[in-house]
Amino acid sequence: MASNLSRRGFLRGTAAVAAGSAIAGGTLAAGSMVAWGADEGTAAGEVRQAPSLCNGCSSKCGLVGTTVDGKLWTLEGAKNHPYSKGTICGRGHGVAQMAYNDERLTQPLRRKEDGTFEPISWDEANREIAEKVAAIIAESGPEALALIHDPRPSGKYYGPRFLNALGSPNVYTHGAACNASKESGITYTTGASNFSVDFANAKMVVFIGRSYGDAIRPSSVQSLANAADAAKRIVVVDPRLSNSAIFATDWVPIKPGTDIALLLALANVLVADNLYDHDFVENHSVGFDEFAAEIAPCTPEWAEGVCEVPADTIRELAEALAKAAPAAAIEPSWRAAFGCSYANSFDTARAVCAVNALLGSWGQKGGALITSSPKAGDLDKTRFPSVPKPEVKRVGDAEYPLALSGMGSNLAALQAALDGKMRGFFFYNSNAAQGYANPKVWREGLGRADLVVTIDVQMSETALLSHYVLPECTYIERMELPEFIGGKKHYVGMRTPIIERVHPETRSCDEIFCGLAEACGVGQYFDFTLEELAAAQLESVGTSLEEVREAGVVELADPGFEYKVPKFKTESGKFEFANAKVGEAGLNPVIGYVPRMVEAAGDELYLVGGKQGIHSHTMTQNIASMNAISREYNLERLWMAASDAQARGIADGDLVEVASSEATGQVRVRVTERLRPGVLFLPTHYGTTSPYQTRACGFGINLMDFVPFRMEPGTGAAMSQEVAVTVRKVEE
Ligand SMILES: Nc1nc2c(c(=O)[nH]1)N[C@H]1C(S)=C(S)[C@@H](COP(=O)(O)OP(=O)(O)OC[C@H]3O[C@@H](n4cnc5c(=O)[nH]c(N)nc54)[C@H](O)[C@@H]3O)O[C@H]1N2
Ligand SMILES: Nc1nc2c(c(=O)[nH]1)N[C@H]1C(S)=C(S)[C@@H](COP(=O)(O)OP(=O)(O)OC[C@H]3O[C@@H](n4cnc5c(=O)[nH]c(N)nc54)[C@H](O)[C@@H]3O)O[C@H]1N2
Ligand code: SF4
Ligand SMILES: [Mo]
């Protein structure tokens, strides 16, 4: 391993300052540019620029695209976008190549009896889909229809509007496989679904899993680099020495799924040693006495037995946090640690919030900040008529009452398909069947449905399971509705087309849903253009379509952020150490200990997953340049601790068989000292089974194949790391 310093320098060079420019300016992109038909090295033709938002991940960083003679030449991060701040990451560059991908979807497809697909016209597709929708509604009611999407700006509006117009409330995001537990946990303590750490002013920050250095957002990487420069105390709790841990002062290699024990023990020390913020607790919280009683047994010595972090380390961390408070906080994290991973993820998120409460860090300079988000104001109902609210409740909400209204549990919809109750599915910008739960269960569930429609840009696993596949044009080829961005300041950004459509038969989100709505007889709710709606939304927040089109990102009226204890939007109006609704959902109303569900037995190892800087979820693995980088650096390999490898006679690069109750799979091993023994780390971007993605198909394995289909009580989240596996060497 290179020294910390040189790695830090490397990371800063690639991720923070010029993330991806190494790719954009290097040989790979130059090659691609030639492939795209641009004139390498010169920009001799007609040069144009247009603003957009990246589609590489949900950060949707602002960017500016430059074309030469209509072909994409470069992408740069928008300087005034709060996430990109002038920089986009490597994925941001790579994902744009999707537009020119030779394996894109180019026309609507219908699945044949033999499982292959045939091209059909949009009219045929819309008509046949509408007939099936009508049949499902006639037989089972609109509640037998669902939409699962990763809503991008336009999708957020058009998809739910379409489904609600049909009378169905069943709209789900990918949340149950991303951040559902975390956002619910934060909501049921603070009333806000997320928070941020005031990094620039913090003296000490503890990360639970979250890796800015791998799961990249450019501005976050920069803030981490700055914090490291300022010699702040940064503690990374992660079974793996991640690319964030390299910036950290402390690496705490915890046993996966037991972060809750560490957090409750921190709280225990803060309370027992009287190191907590009395003013905050007395004036701004409810349920403290119950919480204090609940965690009285959660001493550092107890926690050591659960999470295998030494009691002394826990005690020292608690004392250091108290000393740095209120300019200290536990960072909110995102996915792998407690976004949707374990039976205790919801309570782990609540415990994070509880520690921040004891530190009196909420709203303080350097602490945990809850900021506001802008949204479009009320629009003229005669031009943009409201869709009547569906009469029935969303499927899953009764069983998983802690799932947030904006998310729902898409796995509850899958369960309903298995039960024969959910009969029609629409997927938009979502590869649920590969990433949200065990793929074999999706195959079974969708196999029972009468209608599956997927709107995508490539032949994903979900598209493969669909009766109809509708091709969207890529994000650099389309205009979308405004995207509102919250924080200390408010912004709005927008996608405008950077290039003309490469394939004339592809359509944009709004065109696709309007076409479907028309065919399904609910076109009256879509009788306006995207431009008209965008203009109305922008006018409602004090700007205009012209201004945003021109500038790409526009700062809105200053929301007047101030450092002070926030007004918690909970029922009590205070921070909630205990919450009755959580009790009504069948969980402990008081924040407390919940064990992980699966314990490794015998020679089993815990399997955890995580991101790599150059890939996004399942969707980038077939992009030629990104696939080439992964192959060159063997990025698909399964990380195994050196001592575990030695005990099994496994050497670096050996082929192994990984087996869980659900699946077996073969992959090569990366033997490393950067991992806690007893744990395996699998990058989560590989293992596509779509034969239409020829570069990626069969390369690496997919975490979700190994995970049993189960849902976290309360939230309906995927419990994507409640799994232990065996590993044995395959003789070659
Ligand atoms: N490169 C890249 N960046 C992305 C994305 C992407 O696809 N690719 N996607 C974006 C999205 S949607 C999300 S949700 C975020 C995810 O953001 P993160 O949650 O930060 O990313 P992950 O890589 O899932 O997990 C981070 C770390 O958690 C560790 N970990 C795993 N299990 C445990 C555990 O039980 N306890 C603890 N303490 N640590 C654990 C892993 O080893 C890993 O280093 O990334 C965003 N940014
Ligand atoms: N195996 C695996 N599973 C995961 C994850 C993982 O990293 N690996 N990450 C988890 C997390 S944190 C999250 S947030 C979710 C993310 O889950 P998703 O949001 O579903 O992300 P992807 O799996 O990348 O699938 C996105 C799909 O959208 C398609 N797509 C890309 N661009 C466009 C477009 O412009 N229009 C349309 N209509 N479609 C487009 C892609 O081709 C792909 O099929 O997955 C979760 N599950
Ligand atoms: S973090 Fe990277 S991939 Fe995600 S939106 Fe920003 S530039 Fe795109
Ligand atoms: Mo995510």
Q: Which of 59, 611, 720 maximizes ligand 1 atoms within 8 Å of its Cβ, making it the mutation to test the pocket?
A: 611
Q: Does ligand 3 lie within 6 Å of residue 520's CB atom? A: no
Q: Is 94 found in the same domain as 222?
A: no
Place of tokens 């497809």: 109
Q: Does ligand 1 lie within 6 Å of residue 257's CB atom? A: yes
Phi, psi of 90 (to 5 degrees): -55, -40
Ligand nearest to the CA of residue 469, numbered in listed order: 2
Report if residue 471 sits inside a domain.
no
Q: Given this model, what pLDDT does residue 43 score? A: 52
Helix (H, G, I), strand (E, B) or coil at 728: strand
Q: Contact, 120 vs 469, CB < 8 A?
A: no
Distance in angstroms (rounded) separating the CA atoms of residues 668 and 672:
13
CATH of the domain at 59: 2.20.25.90
**Which residue has the CA at smallest separation from atom 1 of ligand 3?**
217
Report if residue 292 sits inside a domain.
yes
Mean pLDDT by 10 residues, the chain (732 residues): 33 32 30 39 79 94 96 94 92 96 97 96 98 98 97 93 98 98 98 96 97 93 90 96 95 98 99 98 98 98 98 98 98 98 98 99 98 96 96 97 97 98 98 98 98 98 98 98 96 97 98 98 98 98 96 95 97 98 98 98 97 97 97 98 98 98 98 98 98 97 98 98 98 94
Determine the residue type at 165.
A
Closest CA to 710 of 427, 337, 342: 342
User: Which residues fall within 8 angstroms of residue 230, CB to CB, at 6 or more apart?
Assistant: none
Distance in angstroms (rounded) separating the CA atoms of residues 524 and 385:
8
Q: Given this model, what pLDDT does residue 58 score? A: 87
Neighbours of 200 (CB within 10 A): 12
Q: Can you say how many angstroms the Cα of residue 247 is from the centroid of all Cα atoms in its chain?
A: 23
- In what side-by-side order are the strands of the sheet with 62-68? 47-53, 62-68, 71-77
> 357 C-alpha to center of ligand 1: Å?
24
Whether the CA torsion 407, 411, 414, 420 is positive or negative: it is negative
Neighbours of 529 (CB within 10 A): 11
Report if residue 678 sits inside a domain.
yes
Q: Given this model, what pLDDT does residue 152 score? A: 81
Q: Is 332 found in the same domain as 192?
A: yes
Neighbours of 633 (CB within 10 A): 11
Using CB atoms within 10 A of its CB, is residue 104 exposed (0-12), middle (13-18) or buried (19+)? buried
Q: Which of 21, 52, 79, 83 maximizes ligand 3 atoms within 8 Å of its Cβ, making it the mutation to test the pocket?
A: 83
Q: Is 202 found in the same domain as 246?
A: yes
> 619 C-alpha to center of ligand 3: Å?
13
Q: Given this model, what pLDDT does residue 15 score? A: 33
Angle at 653 between CA 239 and CA 727, to 5 degrees: 60
**Which residue has the CA at smallest separation from atom 28 of ligand 1?**
209
> 723 C-alpha to center of ligand 4: Å?
19
Report if residue 638 sits inside a domain.
yes
- The b-or-e profile of 405-423 (16+ CB within 10 A means b, else e) is eebbbbbbbbbbbbeeebb
CATH of the domain at 611: 2.40.40.20
Q: Is 614 found in the same domain as 675?
A: yes
Helix (H, G, I), strand (E, B) or coil at 469: strand
- In what side-by-side order are the strands of the sheet with 204-208? 250-252, 233-237, 204-208, 328-330
Of the candidates 51, 70, 100, which is a domain's last residue? 100
DSSP state at residue 570: S
Six token digits for residue 124 = 């045929």
CATH of the domain at 269: 3.40.228.10
Please identify, by atom number, the ligand 2 atom nearest to the C-alpha of residue 430: 20
Closest CA to 310 of 260, 245, 262, 359: 262
User: Which residues fall within 8 angstroms of residue 284, CB to CB, at 6 or more apart?
Assistant: 362, 565, 568, 574, 575
Distance in angstroms (rounded) separating the CA atoms of residues 147 and 125:
17
Determine the residue type at 189.
T
Q: Contact, 588 vs 713, CB < 8 A?
A: no
Q: Does ligand 3 lie within 6 Å of residue 671's CB atom? A: no
Task: Please give the model's pTM, rounded to 2 decimal places.
Answer: 0.94
Q: Is 270 found in the same domain as 186?
A: yes
- The b-or-e profile of 673-703 (16+ CB within 10 A means b, else e) is ebbbebbbbbbbbbbbbbebbebbeebbbbb
Place of tokens 């989240």: 717
Closest CA to 335 of 435, 250, 267: 435
- Indicate the number of domains in the chain: 3
Q: Which of 211, 407, 430 maximizes ligand 1 atoms within 8 Å of its Cβ, making it the mutation to test the pocket?
A: 211
Q: Is 305 found in the same domain as 236?
A: yes
Closest CA to 461 of 271, 687, 275, 241: 687
DSSP state at residue 574: S
End-to-end alpha-carbon separation of the chain, Å? 28
Of the candidates 79, 100, 121, which is a domain's last residue? 100
Q: For strands 250-252 and 233-237, give the pairing.
A: parallel
Distance in angstroms (rounded) separating the CA atoms of residues 486 and 252:
32
Q: Is 285 found in the same domain as 232?
A: yes
Q: At what angle do helices 4-11 and 218-229 cross, to 10 degrees?
A: 140
Neighbours of 648 (CB within 10 A): 17
- Dihedral (C-alpha) 510, 516, 518, 523: value to the nearest 10 degrees? -60
Can the peptide bond before residue 388 be classed as cis, meaning omega within 30 degrees of 0?
A: no
Report if residue 323 sits inside a domain.
yes
Ligand nearest to the CA of residue 334, numbered in listed order: 1
Q: Does ligand 1 lie within 6 Å of residue 182's CB atom? A: no
Q: At what angle do helices 153-165 and 509-519 cross, to 10 degrees?
A: 10
Where in 90-160 does DSSP place strands (E)? 109-111, 117-119, 145-149
Helix (H) or strand (E) holding 53: strand 47-53
Angle at 440 between CA 435 and CA 445, to 5 degrees: 95
Distance in angstroms (rounded) separating the CA atoms of residues 132 and 450:
8
Neighbours of 725 (CB within 10 A): 23
Please identify, by atom number, the ligand 2 atom nearest to the C-alpha of residue 179: 12
Helices marked H in 449-584 — which ranges? Answer: 461-464, 509-519, 530-540, 545-551, 580-584
Q: Can you say how many angstroms the Cα of residue 132 is from the centroid of all Cα atoms in its chain?
A: 32
β-bridge partners, 640: 671, 680
Q: Is 192 found in the same domain as 69?
A: no
Report if residue 494 sits inside a domain.
no
> 531 C-alpha to center of ligand 1: Å?
36
Using CB atoms within 10 A of its CB, is residue 44 exposed (0-12), middle (13-18) or buried (19+)? exposed
Q: Is 198 found in the same domain as 316?
A: yes
Q: Given this model, what pLDDT does residue 351 score? A: 99
Q: Does ligand 3 lie within 6 Å of residue 619's CB atom? A: no
> 683 C-alpha to center of ligand 2: Å?
15
Ligand nearest to the CA of residue 63, numbered in listed order: 3
Domain containing 51 equals 7-100
**Which residue has the CA at smallest separation from atom 14 of ligand 2?**
178
Q: Does ligand 1 lie within 6 Å of residue 55's CB atom? A: no
> 355 C-alpha to center of ligand 1: Å?
21
**Which residue has the CA at smallest separation from atom 20 of ligand 2?**
430
Angle at 553 between CA 550 and CA 558, to 5 degrees: 125
Angle at 259 between CA 409 and CA 618, to 5 degrees: 45
User: Which residues fall within 8 angstroms of residue 215, CB to CB, at 6 or more apart?
Assistant: 334, 335, 610, 611
Ligand 2 contacts (CB < 6 A) are: 55, 150, 174, 177-178, 335, 428-431, 434-436, 455-458, 460, 472, 474-475, 616-619, 684-685, 702-704
**DSSP string over 629-671:** HHHHTTTTPEEEEHHHHHHTT--TT-EEEEE-SS-EEEEEEEE
Q: Does ligand 1 lie within 6 Å of residue 337's CB atom? A: yes
Q: Which of 61, 211, 476 maximizes ligand 3 atoms within 8 Å of its Cβ, making it the mutation to test the pocket?
A: 61
Distances (CA, A) of 653 to 613, 637, 639, 668: 21, 8, 10, 5
Q: At what angle do helices 122-140 and 509-519 cross, to 10 degrees?
A: 60
Whether the CA torsion 249, 253, 256, 260 is positive or negative: it is negative
Q: Given this model, what pLDDT does residue 231 score? A: 86
**Which residue has the CA at smallest separation from atom 6 of ligand 1?**
616
DSSP state at residue 232: -
**Which residue has the CA at smallest separation from atom 29 of ligand 2?**
429
Of the candidates 71, 100, 129, which is a domain's last residue? 100
Q: Given this model, what pLDDT does residue 32 score? A: 37
Report if residue 281 sits inside a domain.
yes
Q: Does ligand 1 lie within 6 Å of residue 215's CB atom? A: yes
Distance in angstroms (rounded) separating the CA atoms of residues 390 and 169:
6
Closest CA to 703 of 677, 651, 667, 732: 667
Q: Can you say how many angstroms the Cα of residue 80 is from the centroid of all Cα atoms in its chain?
A: 23
β-bridge partners, 147: 171, 426
Q: Is 93 found in the same domain as 199?
A: no
Place of tokens 């399997």: 607
Rg (CA), the chain: 25
Q: Is 253 found in the same domain as 198?
A: yes
Q: Does ligand 3 lie within 6 Å of residue 91's CB atom? A: yes
Report if residue 123 sits inside a domain.
no
Neighbours of 653 (CB within 10 A): 11
> 357 C-alpha to center of ligand 2: Å?
34
Q: Is 334 found in the same domain as 191?
A: yes
